[in-house]
Structure 1
Amino acid sequence: MGQVIGDLLPLAVGVAISPIPIIAVILMLLAPKAGGTSAGFLLGWLVGIAGATTAFLLLAGTQDLGSSEPSTASSWVKLVLGVLLLGLAVGQWRGRPQPGQQPAMPKWMSAIDKFTAVKAAGLGVLLSAVNPKNLLMCVAAGTTIAGGSLSTGQDVWSVVMFTVLAASTVAVPVVGYAVGRKRMAGPLESLRGWLTTHSAAVMATLLLVIGVVLLGKGLGGLL
């Protein structure tokens, strides 16, 4: 199980440092309905990550990926995911704003201060389980767990560990705001500004690193 957890760590980090959901939850915390919308978003984020990872774990389990050595199917999945992530990294890097250029953010962010808790929860699910970059991470996580020849209880624990780590960067601001909201306003605004400016470069770097890791694991299992 230790090997599986080790393989899950970079994937969880890849989801955790996704700038868009962090910016979204910060905007919710700076909005009038901060408590309800941020809690709803966190719940949706957790459900989306856990649900997508579990779905691909079950799907991969039907392909009999578990064995003492990496199976051919598992290796090919990792190889394809690695190539896709490298392609996304190139796209993110090319699309990054040039010096002095205002970063383009999703239009829905301008309406976040009007979100209800239910809408925020739905957004959390969409950004975690439907967003292509995060979905690829969940596919890789589910495949990794399925290939670990673990018991059912260990599978569940692995999904929980991955979900908690992947959701930590959204959970920390929500919990921190609930504990000391007055002290959090300034740091949250500063973090939002930094992430808005550097989000493309951050994601490109993460996707590149994780893509190379998956590509290496896939090739290692095939050779």
Structure 2
Amino acid sequence: MGEAIGAVLPLAVGVSLSPIPIVAVVLMLATPRGRANGIAFVLGWVVGLAAAGTVVLLVSGGAGASEGQGPATWVDVVKLVLGVALVVLALIQWRRRPRDAADAALPAWMATIDRFTPLKSAGFGVALSAVNPKNLLITVGAAAAVAQTGTSAGGQAVALAVFVVLATVGPAVPLAIDVGLGARSAHVLTSLRTWMATHNTAIMCVLLLVIGLKLLGDGISSLSGAA
């Protein structure tokens, strides 16, 4: 189980530091139903990550992610593919980055956050965690890495739970600040939102590149050892 948990730690951090979900929660907290919407978003985020990870674990288990005492070769191939996809995504985002930080744009749906209900906030939490291509690729990579270790079903569940908890820290931080500081949190949250929005592209490019290279390295190392 320790090996499975160790495999997901860097990937969970990558998901946790995604700027857009953090900014979304900050914006929600500034609305009349802010705290309810923020909590709903984070719960939706947890459900999305858990659902995506569980599906991959079930599929990987059924397909034999571990063969005898060792990992299945196809999982290493999946890691290579995911690694290449993440590196390509990082390069594409970097090429499309705004040349001026002042031109950094957030998704259009964020302009409608003040009209969100808790149900809609939860739906967006699920979408950003389980449907967003960047996070989905990382989650698939994490679940595949867990399945490949050959640990027991209980151990895999614990490792996935650790991944989900750590991957939720980022979006949950604004909520913790809001609860802990109350009215004094406005300035802190505004500064956080501005910084994350301004550096969104750079942060995501670094995260995607580092995680992509990690998956590539893991896949190449395992395949080379099996050759």
TM-score interval, normalised by the smaller of the two chains: over 0.9
Q: Normalising by structure 1, report the TM-score.
A: 0.96
Identical-pair percentage: 48
- Please name the residue that 1:2 is paired with: 2
Task: Give how far 1:185 is off.
Answer: 1.0
Which one is further off, 31-40 or 125-134?
31-40
Alpha-carbon contact 1:14-1:210 (below 8 Å) kept: yes
Deviations 1:156-202 (A, max 9, x none): 11111000000111112213312332121111100100111100010
Structure 1 unpaired stretches of 5+: none
Deviations 1:109-159 (A, max 9, x none): 001011000000000000000000000011111111111111121111111
Task: Give how far 1:101 is off.
Answer: 4.1
- Please name the residue that 2:208 is paired with: 207
Matched, 1:54 2:60: no
Q: Name the SS of the counterpart of 1:98 in structure 2.
A: coil
- Please name the residue that 2:153 is paired with: 152
Q: Name the SS of the counterpart of 2:199 in structure 1.
A: helix
Aligned partners of 1:152 and 1:61: how far apart in 2? 9
Deviations 1:87-127 (A, max 9, x none): 11101111221135411211110010110000000000000
Alpha-carbon contact 1:71-1:221 (below 8 Å) kept: no
- Please name the residue that 2:32 is paired with: 32
- Please name the residue that 2:128 is paired with: 127
Q: Normalising by structure 2, report the TM-score.
A: 0.95
Aligned partners of 1:47 and 1:66: how far apart in 2? 27
Q: Which residue identity does 1:147 align to in structure 2?
A: Q
Q: Name the SS of the counterpart of 2:105 in structure 1.
A: coil
Q: Which residue identity does 1:122 align to in structure 2?
A: G
1:1-223 alignment runs, 5 A limit: 1-67=1-67, 68-99=69-100, 101-223=102-224
Which one is further off, 209-218 or 59-68?
59-68
Aligned partners of 2:194 and 2:95: how far apart in 1? 21
